[in-house]
Amino acid sequence: EAQVTQNPRYLITVTGKKLTVTCSQNMNHEYMSWYRQDPGLGLRQIYYSMNVEVTDKGDVPEGYKVSRKEKRNFPLILESPSPNQTSLYFCASSFLAGELFFGEGSRLTVL
């Protein structure tokens, strides 16, 4: 089954404790992207990747890192999480210029 898988789905952590949200797709998509969704602000793009070893900043990259060592994986790293990074995070993938396929979301709370 074609899918985008994010883990963990729910996480509560404390300020400063590094964490990684994994994202994997099985559709051989070139493009992958991370978004955060906050009430009243819609989806804001954090980072995206057009292909392996190619990543670019989106609208809100501060406090986040990503890597794209393999085509199928695009982890989102929070080196030192802060409470303002409490949010619902979505990973998505697509062929270039195609429709996005979204994961089910990862709800992160930073205390």
Nearer to other proteins, 20 or 30 (CB): 30
Pairing type for strands 10-13 and 106-110 reads parallel
Question: Measured at the alpha carbon of residue 59, what is the angle toward residues 73 and 79, in degrees to the nearest 5?
Answer: 55
Q: What is the Cα–Cα distance from 34 to 104, expressed in whole angstroms? A: 12
- Residue 73 is given by DSSP the state B
Assess 86 for contact with other proteins (CB under 8 A).
Answer: no
Q: What's the closest the beta carbon of residue 20 comes to other proteins, in angstroms?
A: 20
Q: What's the closest the beta carbon of residue 109 comes to other proteins, in angstroms?
A: 14
Assess 43 for contact with other proteins (CB under 8 A).
Answer: yes
Assess 79 for contact with other proteins (CB under 8 A).
Answer: no
Residue 93 CB coordination number (10 Å): 27
Residues near other proteins (CB under 8 A) are 4, 31, 33, 35, 40-45, 48, 50, 56, 58-59, 88, 90, 92, 94, 96-105, 107
